Amino acid sequence: DFDVAYFHSYAHVGIHEEMIKDRVRTETYRAAIMQNQSFIEGKVVVDVGCGTGILSIFCAQAGAKRVYAVDASDIAVQANEVVKANNLTDKVIVLHGRVEDVEIDEEVDVIISEWMGYMLLYESMLGSVITARDRWLKRGGLILPSYATLYMAPVTHPDRYSESIDFWRNVYGIDMSAMMPLAKQCAFEEPSVETITGENVLTWPHVVKHVDCYTIQIHELESIATTFKFKSMMRAPLHGFAFWFDVEFSTPIHCQKKKRANPNEALVLSTAPEDPPTHWQQTMIYFYDPIEVEQDQLIEGSVVLSQSKENARFMNIHLEYASGGRSFVK
C-alpha cells in the first residue's frame, strides 16, 4: 500500500517539472552521460525510475544501442509518449512496473538512476538500483552515479529561529509568548527541507555514510549509525544540524580501483550549502532551544538513521548531542 501511494505521487507532473527545472541536477546528469559516452555507445542501459524519460533519451542521444526505461509510476505512460514523439521507439523501451518485477532478457552494460531523496536516503530508490545491479548488470559494468556521500554539520540560523519562534513575543502589540512552546513543537519536531548558506555552518562537515553503488547491499540501508565530534569555528548560537549529500559519476576504469589517480576527473553533483542550490536543498534538524557555543567548543554525539518498520521509504532519526556539559536527545 505504501508503495502504491509512493508511485502514485510520482504520477503528478509537478514533481517531474521541479526535478527537470533543477538545472544543476539535470545538466550534471547530461554531462555525466556525455563524459561516459564511450561506455554507453552501442551498449545496453537501464534507467531505474525513469520518470518522464529524460535520462533515457540523453543515453539514446549518446548512442546507446538499447535503453530500458523502468518506472512503476503511471508517468511511464507519458514517458512512452515522449519517446514516440522523439522517434526513439527503436532504442528506448519503457517498462511500466517495479524493477523487482519487470523482465529484461539480457545483461546490461550501464545502470543510470536519479535515486537520491532528501537527506540522500529519505524515499530513496537506492534499493531498486541495488536490485537492478544484482539482476542485470554485467561484470565490470557502469553505474551512474557511482558513489554517494551523506554529510552533517552543526549550524547557526538566527533568522529562521526568530521568524518561527520569537515572532510570538510581540504580535500586534500583544504578548503571545504562551504560543512559543507549541510553535517550537510544530516548527522543529520534524526535519525541515530548506536552503541555507555556507555562512550558517559552524564547522567542517562529518561524513555520516559513504555509499559505493557497486558493492552496497540492501540490508546496509536498514540502519546507519555514526558518532561525531565537531569543534565550533566561531562563537554563535547553535540551532541544530544540517545534512546534505553529493554523488560522484566515475568511469569504469576507476571502479576497479578504490583510489582514483586524479580525483578531478570525477563529475560531482553536490547539494552542499556553499554550492548552487538544488531542489534537494539541505535537511535541517532544529533544536527546540539554541545552545550558545564559544569558539573551539566541542559538539559531540551520535546519530542513527533507520528505515521505518512500517514504510522502508521513510526514515527515523535518533540524534544524541552534547556541548558545554549539557546533553540532549532528539
Catalytically annotated residues? 114, 123
Non-local (6+) Cβ contacts of 320 within 8 A are: 301, 302, 303, 327, 328, 329, 330
Residue with the three cell numbers 562563537: 235
Backbone angles phi, psi at 202, to 5 degrees: -90, -15
C-alpha cell at 190: 520534524
Residue with the three cell numbers 555556507: 198
Beta strand 223-231 with 298-307: parallel, antiparallel or unpaired? antiparallel
CB contact at 8 A, 119 and 134: no
Could you tell me the CA-to-CA distances from 192 to 119, 241, 321 in Å, in that order? 10, 11, 18
Taking the CB of residue 65, how many other CB atoms lie within 10 A of it? Answer: 13
The candidate with the shortest Cα–Cα distance to 52, out of 87, 15, 24, 88, is 15
**Cα(193)–Cα(284) distance, rounded to whole angstroms?**
6
Backbone angles phi, psi at 90, to 5 degrees: -80, -15
**Cα(110)–Cα(23) distance, rounded to whole angstroms?**
23
* Radius of gyration, CA atoms only, the chain: 22
**Cα(125)–Cα(235) distance, rounded to whole angstroms?**
40
